[in-house]
Amino acid sequence: MTKILHVVGARPNFPKLAPVHRAAAAAGLAQVVVHTGQHYDDAMSASFFRDLEVPTPDINLGVGSQSHAVQTARIMERIEPVLLAERPDWVLVYGDVNSTAAAALVAVKLGLLVAHVEAGLRSHDRRMPEEINRLVTDRIADLLLTPSRDADEALRREGVRDEQIAFVGNVMIDSLFHALQHVPADAGARDAVVVTLHRPSNVDEPRRLASIVEALREIAEARPVVFPVHPRTRQRLEDAGLPLGAVRLLEPIPYREMLAHVSRAHAVVTDSGGLQEETTALGVPCFTVRENTERPVTITEGTNRLAPDPAELPRLVASAARPAAPRRPEGWDGHAGARVVEALLAFVDRRPADDAVVVEV
């Protein structure tokens, strides 16, 4: 029986895991879920597993919050004995967090097959730690499972062979559609502006953060602003002592509750990758407070717009309007998880007999 070992570690990974786990269970595959513990409090981790109806992880490495170097090193050190003990047919890594690159590095050095879910996304900005994780993981993984056709092309430009690329669509949208069935029609703040910010380029530079907060205060004078605050961002706000006016700060909230807010929002202001995708699928105007995005399809086919100058946010939000119907890119149809499993099985079936996995220690 084919055995999959899933590696997740941070909040953005969990909605990507859920549909693949369900599809693999339906196919009768053996599965092990390893949570690295990169995000470790209940609001940022355990509640997501409940909301997404994914079994509790089989193994938690408990690495916690550290510098990029220390966190990556601890993940590598702690996952190696797990991989040696489990000997999976596939190690699946998700997205672009430190857990993704660290687990992939260890697995390939042990001779294990690695597949990257959400491969091929590029911001072309190496100042972003996530971009480094994407590049490293895509360079060493055996199978690159892409969410959009532009990701296929990005990999081909980098010299990746076609037989390593499998377009599967967006697994995040599978989770969104699944969760929407369980969100009450009247949940969430209607016609509010939903805000998330966590990237160092926005929250670690005091002048930049102050300009964003000033824009949010102005927006909040006209309509409700709901801001679930990442722990790092809350600390930066407290350190800076910035007045927030009518902006409503919330603790990090579970997946379904967040989805309720986003689905009923007037607009979303974010620097998150996942929210760019979710708002595209929902047809909610999104303003990404960044100079670039690794998800250009959300701009060319969706409702996302880059807003690198925070001073422009009040005007952009005031003029935001939903389209008559969402324009969803190819493969954003709720069946990406099943295509991931099909691609894994097809890849194993076509491997040469003499290309067997050999684990050396």
Residue pLDDT, tens place only, 55-100 = 889 999 999 888 899 999 999 999 999 999 999 999 999 999 999 9
Q: Of the ranges 42-56, 66-80, 92-106, 155-169, which one carries the lowest mean pLDDT score?
A: 42-56
- Position 361 pLDDT exceeds 50: no
pLDDT of residue 230: 86
- Position 185 pLDDT exceeds 90: no
pLDDT tens digits along 240-277: 999 999 999 999 888 999 999 999 999 999 999 999 99
Annotated active-site residue 178? The verdict is no
Q: Tokens for 232? A: 């790092």
- Position 43 pLDDT exceeds 60: no
pLDDT of residue 45: 64
With a threshold of 0.75, does the pTM exceed it? yes
> What average pLDDT score do residues 207-228 get?
97
CATH number for region 193-318:
3.40.50.2000
Contacts of 297 (CB under 8 A, 6+ apart): 148, 149, 150, 280, 329
One-letter identity of residue 254:
P
Of these residues, 198, 230, 266, 335, which one is catalytic? 198
CATH number for region 3-170+332-350:
3.40.50.2000
- Position 178 pLDDT exceeds 70: yes
Stretch(es) of the chain classified as CATH 3.40.50.2000: 3-170+332-350, 193-318
- Position 359 pLDDT exceeds 50: no
pLDDT of residue 351: 60
* pLDDT band, residue 358 (cuts 50/70/90): very low
* pLDDT band, residue 360 (cuts 50/70/90): very low
Mean pLDDT of the chain: 93
